Amino acid sequence: MKRYFLLLLLAVLAAPNSQAQSACSTYYLLADGANLQYTNYDRKGKEDGQINYSVTNVEGSGDNVSATMMMEMVDKKGNTYTSDYEITCDGNVVKIDFKSLMNEQMLSQMGDVEMDISGTDVELPNNLSVGQELPDANISVKMKMGGAINMNTNVETINRKVEKQESITTPAGTFDCYVIYSETKTKMMMANSTFPSRTWLAEGVGMVKQESYNKNGKLVGSMVLTQLSK
């Protein structure tokens, strides 16, 4: 259950960078009915599950739009975990309603648990440029799992910077991308870890690829856009 919940937090932190164009932002998808499929790979390039995103219940127009993001994670054994959460776009800022993560569907998959979620959003401006530094983000979760068992988790995304521009090809097509470097710090129970990552972002598409590394800079896993429909 701990591994599933950490994957959920990381997927949500990635989600704002994983979406396509809307009237509010170049890199956020708030188009009703849009679907994106990402395939996860381990350090050896073997398939390690999928994450599917779909957008529903889009309301508003122009610089003020809200939508529901539905997320489905499928691991390599075929186990499926689902959740949905609310996204609001106001001008150049997109906000995630973290409390909406505590929906009945998600809680039922985790058993008898109470949660308190807080944090700051992952922000992405409309205009990116090489060398640009981006704001940090985090999610903090306090969990009570029956009896006296408590678990606190904190996931921070720090040192975000636009490194370069380059073109990459995936099963979904060829895309001109900005490459964003960041570091993710996780604190769960007594375990602390920090791992770097790079995200490839294409205008009008969003996240095309993401690579995660260990502290020595070696690849430990990747996520690639394999299907896209708007």
Locate the domains of the chain by residue range.
Answer: 2-229
The CA distance from 133 to 181, in Å, is: 10
Name the nearest CA neighbour of 168 among 214, 124, 200: 200
Instruction: For residue 51, give both structure tokens.
Output: 């994450």
Question: What topology does CATH give the domain 2-229?
Answer: YmcC-like fold (2.40.360)
Residues 170, 209: Cα–Cα separation, whole Å = 8
Is the Cα torsion angle 93, 5, 31, 178 positive or negative in sign? Answer: positive
In this model, does residue 7 exceed pLDDT 70?
A: no
How do residues 99-153 score in pLDDT, each as one tens digit?
A: 666 555 555 555 666 777 787 767 777 778 999 999 888 888 787 766 666 778 8
Residue 22 CB partners (closer than 8 Å, separation 6+):
28, 29, 30, 31, 65, 89
Q: Which amino acid is it at 140?
A: S
Is-contact 71 52, C-beta < 8 A? yes
Task: Kindly report, residue by residue over 50-77, the tens digit of the pLDDT.
Answer: 989 888 888 877 777 888 888 888 888 8
pLDDT over 90, % of the chain: 28
Task: Report pTM.
Answer: 0.80
Which class for 147: exposed (0-12), middle (13-18), buried (19 or more C-beta within 10 A)?
exposed
